[in-house]
Structure 1
């Protein structure tokens, strides 16, 4: 019986190792992001779940030697039996959390499993009646133990990472004629990079970082694996979670042109202060890294980007450019005279300071992509492409490059899938796009994370926007649900139509009860994948 208990415990530990390595990888092995997760409702549930509390109680009763060893052993056995069967069922259904397979995660998994196996092997030397105690102790401490394994080996991975960075830096320095474009910001950088890469590819040999490949190791691997001497332009998306992060990337790739797509408070909690955020993803470090013959291109509709230009002294004024939707309030280098937003495309008439004018159409969703497209048009024009060439190249842009896809789901319900990630400006923009649909509208989204002290205020504003546009809102996480609910109700939404629910089947039932054929649902941010499968025809 003891051997069977140990075996069930070992099966459960396999699940634990995979899950906690998945979480570390999801947070990019960033200690601040990892610990910030435990400020959220989901993070607290991990540490204070019913199962964890039950195990703590069982451990306490075992230690107290209350004379209830046999019933306590039986309950412990049932707990591990149930957990193991659930895990094995999820493995069979391929419905469990595990890290993406890389050399790093494989090494960490083997190292963590070695600790588990070593402990498992020692159990045969422990007195039978003490075995349940030690199994519970290890189980309760497993998140800490696995995290210690990650942190112990992190210096070795940092050493390996720095070696890769040196190789990448050396390689890119050898391409003397290469023009590097660095793109940063709190939002819009991936889409702008995708648009710009597609447009420039019409005339030049272009390499670009892959979708959301914006960390130092991701950029370095792109240089080592994809960049070659035939490329004329390298478009680099640059992300960071601490001050100095963008400078590190700029020191590697040496951008000549910098683009700042828009700045907000999305990662304020990680940076610790607005000053630190503005230094990194706010574009300060990118602007300082540009050469004297370089160019800085910013979103003129964003106050932080305009402040960046005001305080930047690295470049002459004629090498600092702005793009905006209007030229009435600021002196832009390119702006729009006319914008048309349809369900499946955007069109705009763009004008520059030289009175050049052209119509541009891209098959992407949402009016917010007008600014992303304008930024790409301005940079392509600076690199020698005329408006006619750029307009023709825009026809090659695909819907998925903008990070939002429109599909018809089950029961004829339109599904707007913007589920990769979310930030405040992105949510507002997606809701504005949702508003052009004539029939009933619903949104499914989690609360946003890493917003710092402004989180409650931002969520209340999002709730108000939802209340103005949607008839039904389903929020999948609890953290700032009450703030969103308050904002939605202030805008006129009925209390019964803003729901807190993370159960995929219940979400599906609520949506199909509210919506009929021709209605539309916006999937915003990281919602459960099963919800997407239930609503779509995947």
Structure 2
């Protein structure tokens, strides 16, 4: 039988055969007793000597029973996104199931009896076979759409193409840059988190018009070489590197590989400009190695301003500093820079002076929260300056951004409690930035709601460290789901965090009543979210 939960979870995993087989292994472990009971029943029926047709009828009826028993299939049917790819999978799976049933007619009773328990898991094997058989077809279809997008880009020979990559901050920087550029250019940006070849191709094929002057695309990767592939595909004219951090280490293997992959973007830019975040030590190395037009961005804290002026007077081009409390690194440069000065962060707004090469450009005001968004604004502003966008347009574009979905997105419930949604893709390096936003609120209760971090090289070690970081910023913690529960609790306890302030729930549905009933003396930060394929 077609199993909707398998298709749904596979869709979340990106249609990876390994993930399907991993889920099969877990299913076998969880249902050994059921399989044994099924085996005993069917073997007993064979001993009683029922004929083959009877077995086949039982098999078909049993399929339906198992299909419903395996989970709330009708609920999953509603969750699946019925793309053409999913429809191809359903058609092929149906054909393979029919073949299996036909073969059963010719199987002897004994083998049918002892093989019936496999019914509990056969759908996983058939779905894995389906994915394998469709690989060449999906590759052909994907190549067709990418080639069509390349053809569309070649038609727009005057189109300015900007590529943004980094372990975090890509989407926010893209949204801010798009808002600024629209003040002076007809601009297309890739929607949501579309950052793969097919996602970018879809955006180009469906949305690129003859009137567009600038195309901004987000570039993501989980393996070496994928950024180079995207750069060649789009043939970017301007690059932006937001950050290098401990993200997707389960596929990259090491932070060094993450660095090398993100560096593929500036390496591609021959005699073209690139913007770098100098608040990230890895990106600083890229900045130093880049030999063409480059702009480094950073935030200049008030307490460092005097030191900075002294170094400038002495004509020293570069100064590296690290905050001993937060561990935040920054490299200040004398030339080729765009930076923020006189920064004021509050729970309602953020303001700062924008400078370029020591010259005042404009006073910026935004509703976006936190230092991380200041960095994103600087990256976007510097990119806009490369294209000659005026200071007035930069101010208007930044002011036009009210919030970015699931990126420090601030809301309030009916009772006045603040809920900050930072549910998209947290990691150890971005977490301190988002968690520090809690310090902007003068309230008694500061609560972090989190399921922890995934795709680490060592899940326990990563979430243990995450727990230690959380302990510095909040008064209570709600840990969602079971996957990282123990490691986060261990990390919190290691920092002497009160155990009675640690709460656990199995899903986000259990958190909603807490968020709805909280009063104005509460602020909640939802730090990361895990899809349904994580328990």
TM > 0.5 fold call: yes
| 1:441 equivalent in structure 2 | 446
| 1:10 equivalent in structure 2 | none
| 1:325 equivalent in structure 2 | 299
Deviations 1:222-265 (A, max 9, x none): 12221123211110101111111011111111011110101111
Match of 1:235 among 212, 216, 221: 216
Give 1:321 deviation, angstroms.
1.5
Summarize the Cα distance change of 1:78–1:449 in structure 2 as closer, same or farther, 3 Å threshold.
Answer: same
Matches within 5 A, 1:165-204: 165-204=146-185
Cα pair 2:453 2:462 within 8 Å, conserved: no
| 2:32 equivalent in structure 1 | 53
| 2:12 equivalent in structure 1 | 26
Summarize the Cα distance change of 1:485–1:506 in structure 2 as closer, same or farther, 3 Å threshold.
Answer: same
Cα pair 2:409 2:421 within 8 Å, conserved: yes
Match of 1:501 among 500, 505, 513: 505
| 1:110 equivalent in structure 2 | 91
| 2:68 equivalent in structure 1 | 84
| 1:525 equivalent in structure 2 | 528
Pairing 1:481–2:485 present: yes
| 1:247 equivalent in structure 2 | 228
| 1:295 equivalent in structure 2 | 273
Give 1:65 deviation, angstroms.
5.5
Cα pair 1:263 1:305 within 8 Å, conserved: yes
492-501 vs 169-178, greater mean Cα deviation: 492-501
Q: Normalising by structure 1, what TM-score?
A: 0.82
Cα pair 2:468 2:495 within 8 Å, conserved: yes
Matches within 5 A, 1:377-526: 377-400=381-404, 403-409=407-413, 412-437=416-441, 438-453=443-458, 455-504=459-508, 506-507=510-511, 515-526=518-529
Deviations 1:325-346 (A, max 9, x none): 1284320601111222233432
Q: C-alpha distance in 2, partners of 1:526/1:44?
A: 24
Cα pair 1:404 1:416 within 8 Å, conserved: yes
Cα pair 1:404 1:418 within 8 Å, conserved: yes
Cα pair 1:62 1:69 within 8 Å, conserved: no
Cα pair 2:415 2:520 within 8 Å, conserved: yes
| 1:278 equivalent in structure 2 | 259
Residue 377 of structure 2 aligns to a residue whose secondary structure is helix
Q: C-alpha distance in 2, partners of 1:179/1:500?
A: 49
Match of 2:285 among 307, 320, 325: 307
Unpaired stretches in structure 2, ≥5 consecutive residues: 50-54, 309-319, 321-331
Summarize the Cα distance change of 1:117–1:279 in structure 2 as closer, same or farther, 3 Å threshold.
Answer: same
Residue 424 of structure 1 aligns to a residue whose secondary structure is coil
Give 1:214 deviation, angstroms.
0.6
Summarize the Cα distance change of 1:528–1:279 in structure 2 as closer, same or farther, 3 Å threshold.
Answer: closer
Cα pair 1:428 1:462 within 8 Å, conserved: no
Aligned length in residues:
493
RMSD: 3.3
Q: C-alpha distance in 1, partners of 2:531/2:11?
A: 18
Give 1:501 deviation, angstroms.
2.7
Give 1:69 deviation, angstroms.
8.7
Residue 192 of structure 1 aligns to a residue whose secondary structure is helix
Q: C-alpha distance in 2, partners of 1:79/1:237?
A: 44
Give 1:512 deviation, angstroms.
7.9
126-135 vs 236-245, greater mean Cα deviation: 126-135
Q: Normalising by structure 2, what TM-score?
A: 0.82
